[in-house]
A and B are shown apart, each in its own frame.
Chain A
């Protein structure tokens, strides 16, 4: 039963992935008034030879469905086109920048869970108590502050003003990166036994990850609270209490596990949201990741790069949601029977 459910989810995700390529294709090839100009930029479009080569390469003179076929065939070979700005294949650029972003988003995701979930539980257990009010207020602030502004404020305050935070970037200026294994400096530092690098990289992660997590912490806290309030009102919780289970046990063993499904759904969405949020955070923290690459591509109207990143993040989004769907099985085996 569980296997059938997993298979169905995998097939559905794969179908969505193919459909996502169609959306990216349509945006890239039909939305701009002149795709040649959008993809090549002003300078290169002035050269008729380049334009002709570009048209032939992407089959722009052929019917739309054939163009999509060409697009898919190139995609299957990992060809996302060439970045206008860096003049390198978009895939190479992405490969270079992705580890920094994964590192940042993962730390922010970790913060989101370890702060958001307990805070949400506490707010629900002590409903209308001071924790609940403080949590509600903090959440509203977290979701109301624009990420790019919050990033600026904490940087101006802790780095510029108080001088207790390290400079923007992944490491101190002049510090060498640990030997490349994963591209995530903290992990690489630990793997190489290079503790100084690992600590340095971790210190640089603090501000950007907190800023990135600010909004998602608010959302996760609110969802956890709502889900907990729901389960705390159920009959089985009353039964547990009547049996004399201590309140701690009621919350941990009876209420929380049953509140996990909505929390899990949201955690998946939040991680994907974090990946997108890096566009704004990385820009301010000079974080050489996918987000800053996207920002620079947007500024330069570097179309192939923008579309490549969009497609990649959409695929990650789908993968995360698939992982969440499979995780439901563990949390709530009933989903397989639906």
Chain B
């Protein structure tokens, strides 16, 4: 039930992002000083911000940054982490030990802080923030993939494949990965929302987009002192909240389905 609701929310937001320029009622960048900080009305359903820009249009266009950013981070991290963990489980004790210590090292930093430090070092910008996040995001996938591959590796069908003369890399890709991928997919589904919140958080901290590009986290930040003009921060925040909830609903359902033990 909740899983379907989650999928619907995600699809709806996907459609909004795809059609953004067509459905936005105003230009997201159009400054109108005379109409600044107007409360929600028929003309501006979500009101206007401190520069008189239409909040609804900025939320709609913001979907084009906020949605893909979290998704890209998690997919990049999952791809790299899974490969890394898979190789570790397969490479023999010494290499594995070194690889897993490196993983532990990354896990000993709070992700938000380390991503923030790296993003600050790389400089402002969506791409840099995505790179910074991916750097701190992969270790949990490495750990999970390693444990999954370790289990699979000892099973008979893998021995059979090796016995038939198949090489290590080929066995890993053709046999082990397809059999071990379920929990990874479940983790990805649960993690995308997390990635979006973190990206928005970094943006909120001033590290994501360069103004005046509309992005949800940055928009909440712009309105954070405007307690009287609650609409400036509330609507972009609601956008993040709803899409993250969609992914968490879907992820929760997917995990029950793909990884019943977890």
**Using a CB–CB distance below 8 Å, which chain A residues touch chain B?**
16, 19-20, 23-24, 27-28, 31-32, 38, 140-141, 143-149, 152-153, 155-156, 159-160, 272-273, 275-277, 279-280, 283-284, 294-295, 298-299, 301, 303, 306-307, 309-310, 313-314, 317-318, 321
Contact = CB atoms under 8 A, between A and B. Distances in A.
Interface string B216-236: 010011011001101001100
Given A160-B230, A280-B201, A298-B206, A16 B237 contact: no
Contacts of B223: 152
Interface of B: 2, 101, 104-106, 108-114, 116-118, 120-123, 193-194, 197, 200-201, 204-207, 217, 220-221, 223-224, 227-228, 230, 233-234, 237-238, 240-241, 244-245, 248-249, 252
B205 A146 contact: no
Given A27-B121, A280-B201, A298-B205, A152 B234 contact: yes
A276 B113 contact: yes
B88 to A, nearest CB: 17
A309 B113 CA distance: 8
A31 B122 contact: yes
B217 A272 contact: no
Nearest to A321: B108
Contact of B245 (A20, A141, A148): A141
Given A20-B108, A146-B237, A303-B121, 6 more contacts: A27-B117, A140-B245, A149-B240, A152-B227, A310-B116, A317-B108
17 contacts: A16-B104, A19-B101, A27-B117, A32-B122, A144-B197, A145-B244, A146-B204, A146-B220, A147-B197, A149-B238, A160-B228, A276-B112, A279-B112, A303-B120, A310-B116, A314-B110, A317-B110
A98 B210 CA distance: 31
B105 A159 contact: no
A146 B122 contact: no
Given A143-B248, A160-B230, A307 B108 contact: no
A307 B118 CA distance: 9
Given A143-B248, A144-B193, A279-B112, A306 B122 contact: no
A91 B146 CA distance: 39
